[in-house]
Structure 1
Amino acid sequence: MSSQRDGIFPDEVILQILARLPIESLFRSKTVCKLWYRLSSDKYFIQLYNEVAAKNPMLLVEVSESSGLNYSLICVDSWRGVSEFSLDFLKDRVKVRASCNGLLCCSSIPDKGVYYVCNPMTREFKLLPRSRERPVTRFYPDGEATLVGLACDLSTQKFNVVLAGYHRTFGHRPDGTFICLVFDSESNKWRKFVSFQDDQFTHMNRNQVVFVNRALHWLTASCSCILVLDLDRDIWRKMSLPDEVNYGSGNRVYLLESDGCLSVIQISDIWMKIWVLKNYEKEEWHLVDRVSLRCIKGLVPGIFPISQTCGYVLLATHKQVLVYHHKSRVWKVMYSVKNSSTLPLWFSAHSFRSTIFSCH
């Protein structure tokens, strides 16, 4: 990088400024001059932009109308506030099924089995080819995958979509056979492998899938363990939770990411405890914060942590989105539903970040 050019800022300063712009503003800035276009198109800058974005936890929420027929999408940004955006560029009525590193996996509502991967900030999308498995057997129940996962590797700009569920032949009950379909963006193909799983998943356990260390992680409904899918080897395995986690007796447990690490949050009537997996291979959990919930006591029964970094935690309730600042220990309301939404906000909230990630 050059240090100075005819009295203007050094290239590195310009890069740092551009890396903090919303993507829409960044794209507009490319038309300012050839230098800005070249700098913002460089691989180094794309890596820098995504690193800065990782420090800014965001929330994507599908807010339903009172009729339940329509919904709008909002993005709650701990830096820039609340903004609305649309997935109308997909030209389909969809539901967000998974979110990872700025990409969304959406399923078509009217057309079962149709999936898209899109970057809502750049309005790029990819329609995934249909799997050939569906005419033979079907996911149980309702033809929908029990688990939907999205794994996006920022370093390689490649992604995987995972559909997993209990299969049954027509006229028979499910026998515990767990079918997993994995879409690979590099080959543009699905692959399949079969295993046996006796774990159950609630809706919210399925919604909170975490991609770290080239694996997808789900919390089981009993909160007895974490189910891990190793995408490099196509192997399911189980990971233990922190020994101190106490599920039951009014405690609720959630699985999140924190600065590239796996994290567990336990919420009781008066405390929120946060663990981070500091050593992935040895499964060494560290308690990093213990937060009193007395100042938001009325909201605690319906509160749900969605996204976090070492600096913030974003949480959703039935009608509000809150942010908690670790350093100042201050709570702040970021968003409140103005109309009578039919579903609680946490029901359709996803962790999100604004990244430069191509779907193609």
Structure 2
Amino acid sequence: MEETNVHDNLMETCKDNNSSSSSPLSLFDSLNILTGVSIDTLSACRQVCREWCTLTHESYFTSMHCEKKRIILGYYIQNNKIRSSATFVSPNPLPSTISSMSLKFLPTRFPNIVASSSEGLLCCVSGQDMRIPQYYVCKPTTKEWRTIPNPKTSYFTEKIVMVAVSNPVRFIIVRFSSLRPNFCNNTLRIEIFDSKYNRWRRSKDIKLPHPTLILCGSAIFSNGAFHWLTNDDYVFAFDLNEENWRTILLPEEVVVMGEKNQKELVKYEGHLALFSVGDEWIDLWVLDATGFWNKRKTVVVNNPDQCINFSDLYTSDVAFTTGFDKAMWYNLNNHSRTEVAVKDYICPQDEMLPFRSDLEYCFLSSY
């Protein structure tokens, strides 16, 4: 079966079975099919039925899929004190054809990762070796790269986000900037770069209500919007298609707890979700299609020294966590850990950039 026809064939199978919510195939057959498809096709297969969506977000499937299709899945840890220092970590060994995930192939000594996409692309900015910053987009697994025009560099960058599609490759970058650093005037200048046109364009400014500030951390892209936590218990959401914004109040139970618990936006089976972390427990809240938060699960965690920072949801049952000198993948079901030591100490301000990539050339420099 040609992979380009997999999604259509599976959809027809489900229709013939008169089921829109459950898989007509056995678990073995489903695993055999789904672990053999590409990243792009997997995203489409998740829309076929609820069982496949659940299955393909679990850790045992992810491990099988990465091994079978030679997919690299992990995180770049961007050191915010030493902006030129970024470390890649993964619970899985790299394929034999990949010796390193460093960015030394870029034509700058000090690349700073400012955004990542789920299609294996990074947006980087040159560091200390250039007086005027230069923007790059690259694919580390194939060492492809290209420069893109600079935005208005006289403004201070507050946030940069990126989304990409493949076949053919196309990426969109959104830059949030201000006249003064650290959101001092609450007005954000919005610029959008589209690789199809190879230029930046100005979108309408955003005036945040005082004293709302967007907190540090990577954005969560879900349902066409980028999401960040704010300092006043809201989620700031920027809709990429409509180019407008809104705020979403956090669950009342989380708001009442105030600063007693750690809060992290994550993604759960494609939906925007929230980690609320206490000393010995984690609550997982998921935002449904109607805009209401539902508490999906509460997990008692084994964190006796309270030195683990829960940063992301790697799969639906494994959390990505960091300690002072290591990255960890914490299984929420059986409390097992996979640990990877890091050379540079991890600080709370460091940014964790999710990364997923195949090893296929995307002919990035052609666009």
Task: Say yes or no: TM over 0.5.
Answer: yes
Aligned positions, number: 301
Name structure 2 gaps, 5 residues minimum. 3-27, 46-55, 64-72
* SS of equivalent residue, structure 1 residue 85: coil
Give distance in 2, aligned partners of 1:90 and 1:70.
Answer: 12
Give distance in 2, aligned partners of 1:336 and 1:260.
Answer: 29
Give distance in 1, aligned partners of 2:57 and 2:348.
Answer: 23
Which segment is superposed worse, 67-76 or 257-266?
A: 67-76
CA-based RMSD: 3.5
Give distance in 1, aligned partners of 2:330 and 2:254.
Answer: 21
Post-superposition Cα deviations, 1:94-119, rounded to whole Å, max 9, x if no partner, equal: 11112220222212112344222222
- Structure 1 equivalent of residue 235 of structure 2: 226
Post-superposition Cα deviations, 1:268-312, rounded to whole Å, max 9, x if no partner, equal: 111111112231xx212222221112x2221x3441323422132
Please state how far the C-alpha of 1:63 moved relative to its aligned partner: 7.5
- The alignment status of 1:319 with 2:328, answered yes or no, reads no
- Structure 2 equivalent of residue 148 of structure 1: 160
Select the residue among 317, 335, 347 that pairs with 1:330: 335
Closer, same or farther in 2 for the Cα pair 1:68/1:74, shift >3 Å?
Answer: same
Give distance in 2, aligned partners of 1:357 and 1:151.
Answer: 18
* SS of equivalent residue, structure 2 residue 251: coil
Please state how far the C-alpha of 1:81 moved relative to its aligned partner: 7.5
- Structure 2 equivalent of residue 124 of structure 1: 144
Kept in 1, the 8 Å contact 2:271–2:286? The answer is yes
Give distance in 1, aligned partners of 2:323 and 2:115.
Answer: 19
- Structure 1 equivalent of residue 186 of structure 2: 176
- The alignment status of 1:94 with 2:111, answered yes or no, reads yes
- The alignment status of 1:106 with 2:124, answered yes or no, reads yes
Post-superposition Cα deviations, 1:112-166, rounded to whole Å, max 9, x if no partner, equal: 44222222122222311122x34xxx33xxx3x1111112246874321111122
Give distance in 1, aligned partners of 2:186 and 2:82.
Answer: 34
- Structure 2 equivalent of residue 37 of structure 1: none
Kept in 1, the 8 Å contact 2:286–2:293? The answer is yes
Which structure has the higher relative contact order (CA within 8 Å, separation 6+)? Answer: 1
Closer, same or farther in 2 for the Cα pair 1:278/1:313, shift >3 Å?
Answer: same
Aligned runs of 1:242-261 on 2, under 5 Å? 242-246=251-255, 247-261=257-271
- Structure 1 equivalent of residue 353 of structure 2: 350
Give distance in 2, aligned partners of 1:266 and 1:149.
Answer: 24
- Structure 1 equivalent of residue 90 of structure 2: 76
- Structure 2 equivalent of residue 6 of structure 1: none
Give distance in 2, aligned partners of 1:115 and 1:68.
Answer: 18
Please report the TM-score for the alignment, with normalisation by the length of structure 2.
Answer: 0.70
* SS of equivalent residue, structure 2 residue 296: strand
Closer, same or farther in 2 for the Cα pair 1:20/1:334, shift >3 Å?
Answer: farther
Closer, same or farther in 2 for the Cα pair 1:63/1:185, shift >3 Å?
Answer: closer
Select the residue among 267, 291, 294 that pairs with 1:286: 294
Closer, same or farther in 2 for the Cα pair 1:70/1:285, shift >3 Å?
Answer: closer
- Structure 2 equivalent of residue 308 of structure 1: 314
Closer, same or farther in 2 for the Cα pair 1:346/1:156, shift >3 Å?
Answer: farther
Identical aligned pairs, as a percentage?
A: 22
- The alignment status of 1:241 with 2:256, answered yes or no, reads no
Closer, same or farther in 2 for the Cα pair 1:301/1:219, shift >3 Å?
Answer: same
Kept in 2, the 8 Å contact 1:258–1:310? The answer is yes
* SS of equivalent residue, structure 1 residue 245: helix
Give distance in 1, aligned partners of 2:308 and 2:279.
Answer: 11
Kept in 1, the 8 Å contact 2:263–2:274? The answer is yes
Kept in 1, the 8 Å contact 2:218–2:352? The answer is no
Post-superposition Cα deviations, 1:47-96, rounded to whole Å, max 9, x if no partner, equal: 336679976494323487xx96974632313x547984211221212111
Higher strand share: 1
- Structure 2 equivalent of residue 47 of structure 1: 40
Give distance in 2, aligned partners of 1:227 and 1:357.
Answer: 35
Kept in 2, the 8 Å contact 1:320–1:345? The answer is no
